[in-house]
Amino acid sequence: MIRTIQLHEKIKEFRMSRGESNRRVDIEQVTPMELRAMRYLRQMKPNELSRIIGMNMDQMLRIENSNRKFVPVDVAEKYVVAMDILPNEHLKLRALINGETDDYIVNRNIPTRVKREVFERCDGKCSNCGSEEDIHYHHIKRFAAGGKHTVDNLTLLCSDCHIKEHEGERIYNAMRVTYK
């Protein structure tokens, strides 16, 4: 997550990109329930988010639990920017809330362009040990914790280093068996 100091700069960038409809969440029509769903999606506690967005926690929770049709644009903007909510994530949450779907399916496929850029940046080698054998794409900020498929959030790891990176996590044993 981003710090409060950086939030103002990120909001400026977000406002500048608002004309690019494929790159933005429709913040004029975010509902209170969607705000709460965004926070749950990113597994953020109310006190943590209130500190990041610079809003009183009680006020923030009142807005999340209100009967308003839409939340104030500045509040929606802070949530979207602070938690890095993508348009497709917002639409999936909206569909789930509106009963249009029963599940929230996350696309784990890394776009080809991003893979190519990461591969070139790492010279096709493990960023830890330099191996060129059995290379994997690894999310620096865990995908399960909201990490994105971006060049800055991905690196290359060989299977040994990838397994070590996940030691102590639930996925560790499955990786150890699968990749060995």
Quote the pTM value: 0.56
Q: How many domains does the chain have?
A: 2
Q: What is the pLDDT of residues 80-92, one digit of tens each?
A: 888 888 787 888 8
Q: Is residue 106 part of a domain?
A: no
Q: What is the pLDDT of residues 99-133, one digit of tens each?
A: 887 777 666 788 888 899 999 999 999 999 999 99
Residue 34 has pLDDT above 50, yes or no: yes
Residues 91 and 10 in one domain: yes
b/e sequence 115-153, b meaning 16+ C-beta within 10 Å: beebeeebeebbbbeeeeeebbbbbeeeeeebebbbeeb
Residues 14 and 72 in one domain: yes
Q: Is residue 170 part of a domain?
A: yes
More confident residue, 13 or 55: 55
**pLDDT at res. 72:** 93
**pLDDT at res. 5:** 46
Residues 89 and 11 in one domain: yes
CA 112 to chain CA mean position, Å: 19
Residue 58 has pLDDT above 90, yes or no: yes
79: which residues sit within 8 A by CB, 6+ positions away? 30, 35, 38, 39, 49, 53, 85
Q: Is residue 102 part of a domain?
A: no
Q: Is residue 105 part of a domain?
A: no
Q: Is residue 138 part of a domain?
A: yes
Q: Is residue 161 part of a domain?
A: yes
CATH number at residue 55: 1.10.260.40
167: which residues sit within 8 A by CB, 6+ positions away? none
pLDDT band at residue 16 under the 50/70/90 scheme:
low
Domain range for 72: 4-97
Q: What is the pLDDT of residues 148-169, one digit of tens each?
A: 888 999 999 998 998 888 887 7
